[in-house]
């Protein structure tokens, strides 16, 4: 009789173990799906950030035409074109380096390598563009003030440019944080 009870208990334990195993597998699949969905949202955020930058750069020819029709200095319009071209090329290289389409399916090593290269490219792009952007800012302030020492107008222009820079820096910081989160999620999925 004891052997029958032991066998029944073993069968019951085996059944419970199988149920537990099934639940764990389902939980793992659910967790993995949640991670993939979250990763997808982060990558979409990065994609939006780049699309917004490209859209802004597409408006430059329109700005150039407006400036030319308002008799702005040819040097200013040329500098605007050069800065926009460099910005576009550098952003495109950064975007292509990141390879957002394949990032979620990469190994953690490859994904990390991709994100690190992207960070290096972004840092290089900032270094390359700092001098031309500074020249654009100074020239824009001069144009806005009518090439005079109109301190209220100069102050307003400087404040607006600082606010724009701070806002752009916050967006870029959020973009970097999204990429770090994606790396963390890829690492979680590979464990």
- Over residues 96-120, the pLDDT tens digits come to 988 888 877 777 788 888 888 888 9
Query: pLDDT (tens digit, 9 = 90+) per residue, 148-184?
Result: 888 888 888 889 889 988 998 898 898 888 888 877 8
Residue 76 has pLDDT above 80, yes or no: yes
Query: Which residues, 6+ apart, have CB-to-CB distance to 93 below 8 Å?
Result: 121, 125
Q: Among 8-12, 16-20, 25-29, 75-79, which is the least confidently predicted range? A: 25-29
In this prediction, what percent of the chain has a pLDDT beyond 90?
A: 20
Query: Which residues, 6+ apart, have CB-to-CB distance to 153 below 8 Å?
Result: 144, 145, 146
- pTM for the full predicted model: 0.71
Spatial separation of the C-alpha atoms in residues 40 and 181, rounded to whole Å: 11
Spatial separation of the C-alpha atoms in residues 146 and 191, rounded to whole Å: 62
Spatial separation of the C-alpha atoms in residues 48 and 161, rounded to whole Å: 23
């Amino acid at each position: 009789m004891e052997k029958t009870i032991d066998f029944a208990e073993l069968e019951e334990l085996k059944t419970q173990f199988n149920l537990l195993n099934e639940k764990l597998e389902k939980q793992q699949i659910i967790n993995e799906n949640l991670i993939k969905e979250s990763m997808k949202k982060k990558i979409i955020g990065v994609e939006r950030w780049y699309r917004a930058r490209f859209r802004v750069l597409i408006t430059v020819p329109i700005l150039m035409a407006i400036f030319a029709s308002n008799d702005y200095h040819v040097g200013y319009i040329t500098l605007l074109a050069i800065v926009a071209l460099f910005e576009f090329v550098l952003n495109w290289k950064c975007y292509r380096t990141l390879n957002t389409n394949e990032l979620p399916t990469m190994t953690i090593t490859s994904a990390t390598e991709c994100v690190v290269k992207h960070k290096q490219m972004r840092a290089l792009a900032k270094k390359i563009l700092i001098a031309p952007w500074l020249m654009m800012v100074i020239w824009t302030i001069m144009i806005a003030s009518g090439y005079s020492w109109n301190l209220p107008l100069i102050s307003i222009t400087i404040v607006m440019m600082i606010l724009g820079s701070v806002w752009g820096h916050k967006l870029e910081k959020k973009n970097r944080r999204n990429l770090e989160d994606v790396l963390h999620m890829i690492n979680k999925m590979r464990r």
